[in-house]
Structure 1
Amino acid sequence: MHNPNFVIGRERQLRNLINHLGKNDIAIAACVGVDPDIYHPEQGLPNELALARCAGCPARLACLALALRTEDPEARAGWYGGLGPADRDNVAAHLRLDTPEPPPPDRALEAARLRTAGWTVNTIATHLGCSRRTVQRYLRAAA
């Protein structure tokens, strides 16, 4: 029942939910009104009824997205979307969620760095995909 394979082929939809989860996505969950402690047992799995509820839930992917979006990867607990902590670790690794993307470089600082390295304004403009005038503005801003 707690097989993470239901995510295969739905990675794009899951990423979209992780980034743009709405209240209505979870409002239709099959577990609405159920004691949340059922999905957070002290040991082992939730009861079979709880996991069966997850398997047929229309909000299963949204529930998983909510967990992946909000929980600390080092302290995963409970069952979300029918998946336990180890399964969510596998899904997060598959989606490369635990590897943060580096922030894009500040374009003005990048232009200044390249200019200091001896690049011409034309070459910087081509590299950054902008006009010469924009590079000149970047260089003034970074000065």
Structure 2
Amino acid sequence: MQMAQYLGKAQRFSVTVRGGYDAVQESGQKIEFGENRKLTLSRPDNRLRIEGEHSDGAKLLTVFNGKEITLIDGRANVYATAPQAGSLDDTIIHFVRDLGVRLPLAAMLLSRLPAELEERLRSIDYVEKTSIHGAPAHHLAV
């Protein structure tokens, strides 16, 4: 819980996420895709920037500047902007719940991360020490 408290109180941080996700095709087949995202968060000025690149090279950018959310799709050469008042927490929840945008690890960006973990976790087991892309990590079963 110490790391959750640290992240929840952090005024600024950035993280790079390498992830994978399944996309269900019309046939029912699941195909796994990969992506890289760099998330930069600044609580004092209520800002969030998410730079993403999918495994096919498509680049996406999401920016919250404290007043509005902007999404840019570089491949399609389109963007959308919508007003969004409120805190970063409000914006992240709106982004995921109301707009239906996939944002892996969204809860890690919330100032209320410790409370979120307490609500969501029923049990956790330590599996092993491991290495991910050369960096030491702990494998947990949640």
Q: TM-score range by the shorter chain?
A: under 0.3
Quick check: which has more Rg, 1 or 2? 1
Of structures 1 and 2, the one with the larger relative CO (CA 8 A, separation 6+) is: 1
Give the structure with the higher percent strand. Answer: 2
TM-score normalized by the length of structure 1: 0.26
Give the structure with the higher percent helix. Answer: 1
